[in-house]
Structure formats: C-alpha cells, structure tokens
Amino acid sequence: MGFLSWLEQTGLATFVRESPSFYGYPTFLFAHTLGLAVVVGISSVVAARMLGVASGIPLAPLRSLFPLMWAGFLINLISGAGLWLADAVNKTIPGDGRQAPIFMTKMFFVIVGAVLLLKIQKKLSGPEADSNTPSSEMRFLSASLLVCWVLAMIAGRLIGYTSAILG
C-alpha cells in the first residue's frame, strides 16, 4: 500500500486529481472516452462483419483498421493509467467502499478483449481473410470480443458508483 500511496502523491496523479476546471481529470476522462470509442467502435464493426453483418464487405481490407484500433487502445492505456494514478489505493486494494473489485473486473475484461483482438488480427492476416467467409472460430472470437467490451464498459461505468453501492 505504501507504493500505491506514493504513486498517488506524484505530480501527474496530483494534476489529474486536483487541477481546476477542464484540466486534469476531465481531460484524461475525455481522452479515455475517445480511445474507448475508437477501439471498441471499430473493433465492433469488424466483429459484426465476422458475425455476418454486411457480408458483402470483403474481410481482407479490414486488416487496415487494426492500426487505428491499437492507437485507440494506446490512448486508453495512457489516459487510464493517469486516471488510475489519481486514486490508485482505492482502485487496487479491496476494502469497505473501495472500487478494487469492480476495477479489477474491468481490467480482466479489457485484457481478455485485447487478447481476442490480437487473435482476430492474426486470423485476418492469414488465408482466412481471402475466403470472405469467417470460420466458426472467428465468429466465436468476434462474439466473445463484443461481450468483453460490453462487460468492460459496464464495469468501468460502475466504478464511479462503487462507494454508493458498497459503502
């Protein structure tokens, strides 16, 4: 807990937590929302295509969307780290009214979602993209990705309400 408390006292954490107006926390939260819209929005379109929506669109060109998705993920990683730093103890150490269980649930689904996204990207880099008909494995990966993103977003949204729920 000492290390996490120290992290909360760093300049960046203090800036995020205590800066006035639209600086700090609102800026990091906006960046987090923007990154989320990019990674989840675009990957949901790709996943929907794998599940049969807009089947006239060829699979191979979808490969070009992955750098943009990973850019969104990087924005989320950086902005999320800043948001976490501002309240690291509360989000990491379980206790009365603390956000740790919900935050860790969110992180679990984000990590699983990122792994699934990597697997889908790898599959689309192979010969399967040329067939234009996703395999049952690709459909399963895509459906699982959508479920992970929805659950991560629900958990992320609940983080703001944790004290009221648990406290």
What pLDDT, on the 0 to 100 scale, is given for residue 25? 86
Q: What is the pLDDT of residues 113-137, one digit of tens each?
A: 999 999 999 999 988 777 888 899 9
Q: What is the pLDDT of residues 61-77, one digit of tens each?
A: 999 999 999 999 999 99
Q: What is the pLDDT of residues 4-54, one digit of tens each?
A: 888 889 988 889 888 877 788 899 999 999 999 999 999 999 999 999 998
SS (H, E, C) the chain: CHHHHHHHCCHHHHHHHHCCCCCCHHHHHHHHHHHHHHHHHHHHHHHHHHCCCCCCCCCHHHHHHHHHHHHHHHHHHHHHHHHHHCCHHHHHCCCCCCCHHHHHHHHHHHHHHHHHHHHHHHHHCCCHHHHCCCCHHHHHHHHHHHHHHHHHHHHHHHHCCHHHHHC
Q: What is the pTM of this model?
A: 0.88
What pLDDT, on the 0 to 100 scale, is given for residue 78? 96
Parse the chain into domains and list their residue ranges: 2-166
> Which stretch, 52-56, 78-82, 86-90, has highest mean pLDDT?
78-82
